[in-house]
Amino acid sequence: MDLEIGSGENPQPGYLHTDIYVDDRNRHLVDIVCDAHCLPFGNACFDSILMFGVFEHFGFYEIQIVMLEVCRVLKKGGVFKFDVPDFDWFLEIYRTGIDPNTRQPVDPNKNTDWALSGIFGWQRQNWDFHRWGWNEVRLRKFLEKPNWEFSTVTLVGRQWRDPESNHLIWECLK
């Protein structure tokens, strides 16, 4: 069985979809309304857990509680895959407009407001705030803590919804 935490309006096929924020736009897409701080599942019951567009919405101490829950419900040998905006990438875009990976200017339509949304969230809804900034070094150090019991932590990509490589996509094997 596979779990997606915070599936919102874009659930991935093949997963049990959970979210705490449910309204008319996603009610029909969410299987279980629940809080990631306290998942209503038994121990070690999922082969994989997906969490896209969610990790950054928790503050530094909150995400540790969520991570304990992820690790509790993930089977040994299971995979936790998630993404997070690359804080340093968005800061560089905000400061210079130059993609730090390609050294090319970003699309002129992606202005400083767009860059700020990558740092702080769009802030259109109560849940749409980013509460912590992660870069590759800080996040690797966090994920490699023994608390989470991951045997491997791998950065598997940098591109998610945008054509730019502005996210960090991780796979953690328990």
49-72 pLDDT tens trace? 999 999 999 999 999 999 999 999
In a domain, 105, yes or no: no
In a domain, 156, yes or no: yes
In a domain, 29, yes or no: yes
Specify the pTM.
Answer: 0.94
128-143 pLDDT tens trace? 999 999 999 999 999 9
CATH number of the domain bearing residue 80: 3.40.50.150
In a domain, 120, yes or no: no
In a domain, 78, yes or no: yes
What total of structural domains would you count in the chain?
1
In a domain, 140, yes or no: yes
Share of the chain above pLDDT 90, in %: 87
85-95 pLDDT tens trace? 999 999 999 99
Q: Which domain holds residue 133?
A: 2-85+126-173
Q: How far is CA 87 from CA 2, 94, 150, in A?
A: 29, 11, 23
